[in-house]
Amino acid sequence: MTVKLSISVPDDVAAYLQSRGNASAAVTEAVRRVLPDARRARQRAAAHAFGEFLRSRTPEQADAARDLIESSNDIALRDAEW
Give domain limits for the chain: 11-76
pLDDT of residue 53: 95
The per-residue pLDDT for range 8-24, each reduced to its tens digit, is 999 999 999 999 989 99
pTM higher than the cut 0.85? no
Read off the DSSP letter of residue 20: S
CA distance 82 to 80: 6
Cβ(27)–Cβ(17) under 8 Å?
Answer: yes
The per-residue pLDDT for range 18-75, each reduced to its tens digit, is 999 899 999 999 998 888 988 899 999 999 999 999 999 999 999 999 999 999 988 8
